[in-house]
């Protein structure tokens, strides 16, 4: 982990003139939030990589999509009035955990969902008895992660159903939803059925405006950290 942090702080993202060789110096340059996010993301990716993946599942794609959604979610909440903004990175990182659990526990059913006949979308709840978003939230509840993170994950597919939707502040589920769509639209899906993601582009929407502002920063950060995942 120390080696990866040194690689990160010496990457083109930070543009250091001299090489940073001290972990203490690297930590001070990254700051608490970046350090926390980088450590959590790398640790989770390493944990997933130790899991024996079923046929048809790409752990590399899953890690990249999860990391990208986490990074973009965290950047967006810095620009917007979002409830429970401090949980953005974790919510983005774990939003599709349910897909991994389904692939591991029911590989045959997962193949049907990932490669539907005729290429048409399928209702995953009919196949598994539960949506991947709900399954993700249930797993986070077992891990005792904060309830706001659970809710953001649970409603990220349909943020309009989030009990917090409609208030003056933006629910975290909407941020994760936009980040998820954007990362998929940029070519980082986790399964073949997710290749149709599109970047939200409503100029009248404050989330879309914030997305336009942070995309250059996201692309720079993601391109420099993706090899860690």
**Is residue 199 very low, low, confident or very high in pLDDT (cuts 50, 70, 90)?**
low
Residue corresponding to tokens 């926390």:
36
- Asked whether the beta carbons of 129 and 106 are under 8 A apart, the reply is no
Query: What are the pLDDT digits (tens) for 124-135?
Result: 777 777 888 999
Instruction: Return the CATH superfamily for domain 32-228.
Output: Hypothetical protein af1432 (1.10.3210.10)
**Distance of alpha carbon 228 from alpha carbon 88, whole angstroms:** 20
Residues 6+ apart with CB under 8 A from 26: 5, 6, 8, 9, 20
- For 99-166, the DSSP string reads HHHHHHH-HHHHHHHHS-GGG----HHHHHSS-HHHHHHHHHHHTT--HHHHHHHHTSSSGGGSTTTT
Predicted pLDDT of residue 205: 82
Section 86-106 average pLDDT: 90
Predicted pLDDT of residue 197: 46
pTM: 0.78
pLDDT over 90 percentage in the chain: 33
Other CB atoms closer than 10 Å to residue 5's CB: what's the count? 21
Query: What are the pLDDT digits (tens) for 14-28?
Result: 666 677 767 677 777
Residue corresponding to tokens 């090899």:
227
Handedness of CA 173, 176, 180, 182 (dihedral sign): positive
Predicted pLDDT of residue 121: 53
Q: At what angle do helices 23-49 and 59-77 cross, to 10 degrees?
A: 130
Alpha helix positions (H), 12-106: 23-49, 59-77, 88-94, 97-105
Handedness of CA 66, 72, 74, 80 (dihedral sign): negative
**Selected residue with higher pLDDT from 91 and 123:** 91
Query: What are the pLDDT digits (tens) for 28-87?
Result: 777 767 777 777 787 787 878 788 877 778 888 888 899 899 999 999 999 999 988 989
What residue segments make up the domains of the chain, in order of their start?
32-228
Other CB atoms closer than 10 Å to residue 181's CB: what's the count? 19
- Residue 214, Cα to own-chain centre: how many angstroms? 16
């Amino acid at each position: 982990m120390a080696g990866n942090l040194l690689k990160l702080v010496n990457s083109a993202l930070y543009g250091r003139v001299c090489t940073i060789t001290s972990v203490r110096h690297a930590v001070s340059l990254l700051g608490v939030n970046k350090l926390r996010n980088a450590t959590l993301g790398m640790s989770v990716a390493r944990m997933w990589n130790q899991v024996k993946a079923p046929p048809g599942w790409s752990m590399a794609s899953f890690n990249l999509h999860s990391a990208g959604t986490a990074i973009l979610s965290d950047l967006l909440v810095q620009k917007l009035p979002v409830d429970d903004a401090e949980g953005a990175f974790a919510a983005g990182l774990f939003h599709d955990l349910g897909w991994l659990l389904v692939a591991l526990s029911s590989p045959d059913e997962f193949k049907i969902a990932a490669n539907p006949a005729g290429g048409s979308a399928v209702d995953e709840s009919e196949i598994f008895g539960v949506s991947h978003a709900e399954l993700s939230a249930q797993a986070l509840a077992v891990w005792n992660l904060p309830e706001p993170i659970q809710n953001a994950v649970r409603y990220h597919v349909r943020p309009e159903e989030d009990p917090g939707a409609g208030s003056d502040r933006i629910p975290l589920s909407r941020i994760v939803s936009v980040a998820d769509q954007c990362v998929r639209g940029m070519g980082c899906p986790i399964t073949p059925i997710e290749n149709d993601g599109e970047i939200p582009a409503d100029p009248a929407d404050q989330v879309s405006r914030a997305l336009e502002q942070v995309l250059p920063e996201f692309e720079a950060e993601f391109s420099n950290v993706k090899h860690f995942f």
